[in-house]
Structure 1
Amino acid sequence: MAKKNSNKYGSPQIPVAAPVAAGLQRSALEKNVPVWTASFENASKVYQSFDMKLDIQVDSAWLLSVCERFRAGGDVEFARWIEQFAHVCKELVRLKERLFEEATENWDEARNFALTVEEREQAVTKQQQTLEQAAATLARDKAELASEQQVFASKKSALLDSERSLNLREANAQAGFVEQNELALRQLEDRQRQLAQQHEAQLQQLQEQKRQLESELTQTTRRLAEVKHNCTEAEAERTQQLDRREHEITQSRMELDRARSRLDREWDDIKLAQRDLEQRIAAEMEAERVSHQQAIASLERQRDKAWEKSAGLKEQLVELQELSTELGEQSAAEVLAQLERLRQENRDLKRKLDQSDTAELQHEVEYLRSSKADLERDISTLLPELNELRREQSFKRVAATELEAVAREKRVLEQHKNTLAVHIDDLESRIDQLTNAQKTQTPFPAMSLMDSEHQYRASMELEEVPDLKLFAEELQHRIARAEKHVELFYPLEDIRVLLGGLAMSQLHVFQGISGTGKTSLAKAFAKAMGGFCTDIAVQAGWRDRDDLLGHYNAFERRFYEKDCLQALYQAQTPRWQDTCNIILLDEMNLSRPEQYFAEFLSALEKNNRNERLISLSETALSNAPVMLREGRKILVPENVWFIGTANHDETTNELADKTYDRAHVMTLPKQDHRFTIKKTTPASYSYRSLREAFVRARKEKKAEVVELLQSLTGDAFTEQLASQFALGWGNRFEKQALDFIPVMLASGAPTGEALDHLLSTRVMRSGKVTGRYNIGVDAVRGLKDALETFWIKANLAGEPGKSLELLAADIRRLEGRS
């Protein structure tokens, strides 16, 4: 039963008259070829009648040979397609004849009738409506036809590529077996390409024919418009007939579309057949390959057996050569004769042995065997006794040695006892002397000296800090020339961040690779401000505050003051109490700051600066320095900043959140920013004036910063931090933002730069948002997009470069892990 499905363009397929049978024979081909040729020639005449330069010339013999080749290959679809195309050409000629006949009849009838003005207007209106509908329908059909032609052209191109690929694989598969097939397949491929080109040309001809029919219809419509004023009522009926003719034209066009869809289906069948052929060839090639592999394996096994046999023969040959060498010039017969003589001699000797007196010898052997057994039994009895005696002897020897050692040790101990007694008497006398001397001395000799020395008691005149923006620019040049014999170039952005950090916290962490100038920046800042910098090298074994401050020796009644303790006391002396001073903890993460710096972290959290006290002992000490509270507590003065440098390698520890949250963090890149250094005179700035400048900046910029924090709190960025990362804004963050951002703004930095630095060091750092393993890459991407969106909504200058860089690096890490 024939399939009655629709083609891919939605047009139903209709059977074409006189289909070619599947088993097409040469007689049927010879019968149909003249008909096809005539149809093609008639179609060519139709094109030429419309003044179109297209001549379809078909050689009957060539067409017959092409059909025969396809039939010989088992493919009869090409002949069927040729017949369908010929049928289309025949219908095209008939359609052209009908159109001309109808146009001629309408023209003759239109000239013989006339209408009144009223009837003429009615006919014109009616006919105009009909023509407009026909034009709209024709335009839609034209657009659909163009779309179908484009799709058909693309599918045809794909089919041709598949045919070429299939033919190439077939040729490659059969190249090693039948060389004649290669030439035949190449010829077939060329013929198929020619047929495809002809098919494309014929489709173009059909398209051109359709356009010609549309043009003819337009001309007919125009002619009817010219004579519409002369039509009668009877002509209206003929106009309806013309509409019916137009409908028939539309039906003809639909038949053309159906024929084209039939061609598409046939091309699909060809493509399916080619795919089956490709699979069959692949299966045959696979079977051939397996067969060759089996044959090769069999040959390899035979080769291995032959090599093994050859090796055995070589060994036999070597043995024969060795035997021949040992035998010398003797022949095989002589060797055999010699062997026979030896055998005979052996038999004679055995016979003589049998005839000799062996009974006496055997009796003697039996006697010797019994004697040997008796001796072995005696040995087994005496051997345990010998071992026991040897052990007893070794025990007695060890006991004697121990007695000698104890006696010797006793003599040595008596000598040591006498010596120690003399030393003890000497130490007792010295202790009494030291105790009596310490009763009149101070337990803090270094700090007590600061109470009396003139260099710590004399005050000096200090300069006021100007406007923060001007001060930041001046400080950049002062830092550049602060160190002797070296120039330090730090960008103005880093100087502004440093000033903002000084207003935010007394604890700073300078991060960065080795050689970026972390230590130099701390020292140069202290010198540029006119203060002092105490450099403390943190050791890997530090565990508590005694390693940083020192410890009290109750026996000597003396406190061993370390540099940090002396610097804290020095900053409170009249000479240094109003200067900006630095205590530098070099490589602070060699040990854990949460242990040796714990009391300072707690003290720096207190809002009342006068309550930031560190206890040096459990009880008050006599003769303590003047500025110690209660004789045992030292104040952490506000004019001292702790700056720690941190490298990240296998010898260091990660800083805990407790340290990070309380500190101002700066990451210093490699300095390659050079500028012309302005000459400045040395100066010492007042800490009080710097603090007042910070307070003024906070008052002036507080409203702006509060508005920024409110918009940040209500943004989707904050919601994602809470929902995806379980993070929020605490009181400490808001306090630090109100201290840091105003100073950054007053120093000339944009709001976006200040907020970006705060977010990158307080929120985006590893362990908070980035560097986590319980967060997916989608959450980090969403947070990155939310941050960029907030930046645009808040109209902040620039981009949050530091934060985005951290998020992008974490996204790459998570993508690499997945």
Structure 2
Amino acid sequence: MRELEAEKTALSTRAAELDRRESALDERELSLTERSERVLELEEDAKRGFAGYRHEQLERLRGELDERRALFDAELHAREERLVRALAERESALARREEEARDREAELEAVRLEQQRTERRLAAREEYLEQEAADRADDLRAELEAELERERHNASSWRLRWEAVNRLAEERDRALAERDVAIAVFGGRSEHEIAEELTRLRAENAELRRDAAARPVADQDRVAELESRFHDLTVEREGLAQRNAELRRQVAAAKISTVERENSRMVNQALERLNETLRAEIHQQTVTLEQLQAESQRTSPFPSCFSMDADPTLNHRPPLSVGPVDLADLVTRVRHRMAADLGLFYSEQDMRCFVAGLATSRLHLLQGISGIGKTRLPEAFARVTGAGSETVAVAAEWRSPQDLVGYYNPFERKFYETDFMQALYRAQLPLFADKPFFIVLDEMNLSHPEQYFSDLLSALERKEGDSSERPAIRLLTARVDPAPALLRDGRSLELPDNVWFVGTANNDETTVRFADKTYDRAHILELPSRPTPFQGDDAAPLTPVSMRNLQESFQRAAQKHRDAARRTLDFFDAELGDRLRDDFGVSWGSRFHRQAERFVPVVVEARGTPGEAADHLLATKILRKLSGQVGVPAGELRALADLVEARWSATFPDTPPERSLRAIRAEIRARGAG
């Protein structure tokens, strides 16, 4: 008891110490938040014209953030080392009490997880601050470019104004020149004086004309000569006045050109200063980009997969059930648990067919009208049995395998990991590696599966032909580092043995038809349009089923009921083979034989009958090929239905071929024969 009390005291002290450290982390996070707000304020100041001050403050704050980050990383590293040493000491001291030691280790694991979450929060906040700084820089650059454009517009506006002023000055110079000519002609006298002189001259002229009329002709010649001389002098004076006006206009134009050049020089200086600011900002952003690129060289192009490798929850291998799996008990208990816990009702025959399909193919197609639980069937099965699952919604625009698994961007040095690719990677981690894992492709036929699913179809075919084959999907053409741990050669993702691909399909105007090769490789299950409710049994929850035990149960069933599978194949070959091949062009090969040898034994082991398994195979694998054969008359289809009904009871007396006859009648109705 004293030792327990001492341990309790030590744990209390440790809890107080952890609380204190958590408070310190909260204070540091608050400090980082305040500094980020300060950075935003400084960026706002920079927008108002203090770009240089902003750069200095940003550099100082970045330096402080880097120092605090380094101190924080060192402190976290020291804390982690202290926690590791404390854990080692505790494990060595409490070796005799393993149960208590596991509880304490769980507490320490929770502390480490909290620290990791804190680190991720800080990293996310730091990334947010860096992204915010980059966005602010982009905004500043955009504002500077807009300001430059406004200055250019203003310069153009001022240039237009100077041109208008220049034209106005030229017009005024012409008017002044004309006035100067007039003033020069009249000797610089005022208008009043000119008017009086003109009146006087007119009177004198009249008097002279009267005198001239009385004078001799010689005086008239002299007057004509003087008038001619006066006219020549007047013309010469007008020419000189025009030359003077032209010189005045040239002087005025020279003055305007000088002012315009001065204004242009001032505008150019402003533009040069703006260009210097832009060059400095571009240089800063280039340095930041180079730093980010250098940082990206140290980070993995697969961030999600890389984080999965570091997640202790996904890398913990849980205990699973040991020993063989009773397939009949599995079908019954899963069916009742789905009804009791989830309100999902599936018939025992459909549940048997689904479990038997797991032994038949890695690709399942669940068909039926919308809203009958196609997607929820594999999800609920995984939940009840402790398996893993992931649902991926297929988009109508998918055309290539990159739409399904993702693609690599060499510029960003990042692989865009889709939900499908992450699920395929998660299925191989220790938490799910020993369990079945279902990847549900919801609305699989919204686009052509033969296009976006082609790599998977090829890999599944290689695996089906050789069980030792380890097919992989190539994600990259060359290796990248650091690569996630489970990538083969740093560029390919293996197709694990524990994954089933379950596609749901509706048949309407928005979907496309599956190709024959997809149907041939897949296990097909048509769910009824109206499920029949029943009272679910509140049995104890199932122990998680291991992948190895499930496969061993399938193998034992195949060995135990080999004769049932052989009898089914003999019936198809001997009783129906010739008729289907000769009259309808329908045949089957080795793939169908392999699927029947796996499917029929599991159905029988799960308390089904060989007739039930044969009816499903005939309806979904053989008679399905009649769909679309418009050249087959309804009469031959009726004869085929009669043949199946007549030959069936001799080999399978316990189960009528309901699904097969229903499929044939549907083809007859499709031809309008009723």
Instruction: Please tell me the TM-score bracket, short chain as reference.
Output: 0.5 to 0.7
Partner of 2:590: 731
Partner of 1:661: 520
Q: Does 1:453 align with 2:311?
A: yes
State how far apart, in whole Å, the 2-side matches of 1:591 and 1:550 are: 17
Partner of 1:588: 444
User: Could you say if the C-alpha distance between residues 795 and 519 of structure 1 is closer, same or farther in structure 2, counting changes exceeding 3 Å?
Assistant: closer
Q: Does 1:696 align with 2:556?
A: yes
User: Could you say if the C-alpha distance between residues 593 and 575 of structure 1 is closer, same or farther in structure 2, counting changes exceeding 3 Å?
Assistant: same
Deviations along 1:682-736, whole A, 9 cap, x unmatched? 3311111111110000011112311331232122x21111111212120110011
- Correspondence list, 1:246-257, <5 A: none
Alpha-carbon deviation of 1:425? 4.6
State how far apart, in whole Å, the 2-side matches of 1:554 and 1:567 are: 23
Alpha-carbon deviation of 1:424? 5.7
Alpha-carbon deviation of 1:416? 13
Q: Does 1:600 align with 2:474?
A: no
Partner of 2:643: 786
Of 439, 444, 448, 2:302 maps to: 444
2:335 match: secondary structure: helix
Q: Which amino acid aligns with 1:797?
A: D
Alpha-carbon deviation of 1:417? 10
Q: Does 1:647 align with 2:506?
A: yes
Q: Which amino acid aligns with 2:373?
A: G
State how far apart, in whole Å, the 1-side matches of 2:376 and 2:278 are: 54
Aligned residues of 1:549 and 1:561 also touching (Cα < 8 A): yes
Aligned residues of 2:568 and 2:610 also touching (Cα < 8 A): no
Q: Does 1:545 align with 2:545?
A: no
Aligned residues of 1:496 and 1:749 also touching (Cα < 8 A): yes
Q: Does 1:504 align with 2:360?
A: yes
Runs of 4+ in structure 1 displaced over 6 angstroms? Answer: 413-423
Partner of 1:467: 326
Deviations along 1:558-614, whole A, 9 cap, x unmatched? 211111111111111111111121111111111111111110011011223542210
State how far apart, in whole Å, the 1-side matches of 2:618 and 2:588 are: 11
User: Could you say if the C-alpha distance between residues 419 and 722 of structure 1 is closer, same or farther in structure 2, counting changes exceeding 3 Å?
Assistant: farther
User: Could you say if the C-alpha distance between residues 751 and 415 of structure 1 is closer, same or farther in structure 2, counting changes exceeding 3 Å?
Assistant: farther
State how far apart, in whole Å, the 2-side matches of 1:451 and 1:815 are: 59
State how far apart, in whole Å, the 2-side matches of 1:432 and 1:503 are: 53
User: Could you say if the C-alpha distance between residues 706 and 556 of structure 1 is closer, same or farther in structure 2, counting changes exceeding 3 Å?
Assistant: same
State how far apart, in whole Å, the 2-side matches of 1:804 and 1:587 are: 28
Deviates more, 1:462-471 or 1:641-650: 462-471
1:605 match: secondary structure: helix
Aligned residues of 2:562 and 2:601 also touching (Cα < 8 A): yes
Partner of 2:667: 810
Alpha-carbon deviation of 1:525? 0.6
Q: Which amino acid aligns with 1:664?
A: H
Aligned residues of 2:372 and 2:531 also touching (Cα < 8 A): no
Deviations along 1:221-262, whole A, 9 cap, x unmatched? xxxxxxxxxxxxxxxxxxxxxxxxxxxxxxxxxxxxxxxxxx
Deviations along 1:67-108, whole A, 9 cap, x unmatched? xxxxxxxxxxxxxxxxxxxxxxxxxxxxxxxxxxxxxxxxxx
State how far apart, in whole Å, the 2-side matches of 1:581 and 1:793 are: 40
2:372 match: secondary structure: coil
2:564 match: secondary structure: helix
2:411 match: secondary structure: coil
2:458 match: secondary structure: helix
State how far apart, in whole Å, the 2-side matches of 1:596 and 1:645 are: 15
Q: Does 1:535 align with 2:394?
A: no
Deviations along 1:16-51, whole A, 9 cap, x unmatched? xxxxxxxxxxxxxxxxxxxxxxxxxxxxxxxxxxxx
Aligned residues of 2:441 and 2:501 also touching (Cα < 8 A): yes
Aligned residues of 2:610 and 2:652 also touching (Cα < 8 A): no
Q: Does 1:676 align with 2:532?
A: no
Alpha-carbon deviation of 1:795? 3.8
Partner of 2:382: 526
Aligned residues of 2:327 and 2:605 also touching (Cα < 8 A): yes
Deviations along 1:145-175, whole A, 9 cap, x unmatched? xxxxxxxxxxxxxxxxxxxxxxxxxxxxxxx
User: Could you say if the C-alpha distance between residues 542 and 482 of structure 1 is closer, same or farther in structure 2, counting changes exceeding 3 Å?
Assistant: farther
Aligned residues of 2:588 and 2:622 also touching (Cα < 8 A): no
Deviations along 1:187-240, whole A, 9 cap, x unmatched? xxxxxxxxxxxxxxxxxxxxxxxxxxxxxxxxxxxxxxxxxxxxxxxxxxxxxx
Q: Does 1:711 align with 2:568?
A: no
Aligned residues of 1:503 and 1:694 also touching (Cα < 8 A): yes
2:412 match: secondary structure: coil
Alpha-carbon deviation of 1:793? 2.8
1:457 match: secondary structure: coil
Q: Which amino acid aligns with 2:555?
A: V
State how far apart, in whole Å, the 2-side matches of 1:478 and 1:419 are: 70
Q: Does 1:632 align with 2:464?
A: no
Alpha-carbon deviation of 1:421? 7.0
Aligned residues of 1:751 and 1:796 also touching (Cα < 8 A): no
Computing the radius of gyration from Cα coordinates, the structure with the larger value is: 1
1:602 match: secondary structure: helix
Deviations along 1:625-644, whole A, 9 cap, x unmatched? 11111111111112111111
Q: Which amino acid aligns with 1:728?
A: S
Partner of 2:122: none
Aligned residues of 1:529 and 1:579 also touching (Cα < 8 A): no
Aligned residues of 1:780 and 1:807 also touching (Cα < 8 A): yes
Structure 2: give runs of 5+ residues left out of the alignment.
1-270
2:431 match: secondary structure: coil
Of 403, 415, 424, 1:559 maps to: 415
User: With structure 1 as the length reference, what TM-score do the two structures score?
Assistant: 0.47
Q: Which amino acid aligns with 1:791?
A: W
Of 327, 347, 360, 1:491 maps to: 347
Identity, % of aligned pairs? 40
Q: Which amino acid aligns with 1:786?
A: L
User: With structure 2 as the length reference, what TM-score do the two structures score?
Assistant: 0.57
User: Could you say if the C-alpha distance between residues 495 and 438 of structure 1 is closer, same or farther in structure 2, counting changes exceeding 3 Å?
Assistant: same
Of 775, 786, 800, 2:632 maps to: 775
Higher relative contact order (CA 8 A, sep 6+): 2
Aligned residues of 1:489 and 1:671 also touching (Cα < 8 A): no
State how far apart, in whole Å, the 1-side matches of 2:518 and 2:275 are: 54
Deviations along 1:123-163, whole A, 9 cap, x unmatched? xxxxxxxxxxxxxxxxxxxxxxxxxxxxxxxxxxxxxxxxx
Aligned residues of 2:385 and 2:545 also touching (Cα < 8 A): yes
Root-mean-square deviation (Å):
2.4
Aligned residues of 2:435 and 2:498 also touching (Cα < 8 A): yes
Partner of 2:608: 749
State how far apart, in whole Å, the 2-side matches of 1:708 and 1:800 are: 13
Q: Which amino acid aligns with 1:643?
A: V
Q: Which amino acid aligns with 2:563?
A: A
Aligned residues: 399
- Correspondence list, 1:33-182, <5 A: none
User: Could you say if the C-alpha distance between residues 459 and 419 of structure 1 is closer, same or farther in structure 2, counting changes exceeding 3 Å?
Assistant: same
User: Could you say if the C-alpha distance between residues 746 and 482 of structure 1 is closer, same or farther in structure 2, counting changes exceeding 3 Å?
Assistant: same
Alpha-carbon deviation of 1:434? 1.7
- Correspondence list, 1:268-307, <5 A: none
1:533 match: secondary structure: strand
State how far apart, in whole Å, the 2-side matches of 1:758 and 1:649 are: 24
1:454 match: secondary structure: coil
User: Could you say if the C-alpha distance between residues 414 and 513 of structure 1 is closer, same or farther in structure 2, counting changes exceeding 3 Å?
Assistant: farther
Partner of 1:516: 372
Q: Which amino acid aligns with 1:446?
A: S
Alpha-carbon deviation of 1:622? 1.4
Deviations along 1:619-661, whole A, 9 cap, x unmatched? 1111111111111111111211111111111111111112111
Alpha-carbon deviation of 1:476? 0.8
1:576 match: secondary structure: helix
1:611 match: secondary structure: coil
Aligned residues of 1:490 and 1:671 also touching (Cα < 8 A): no
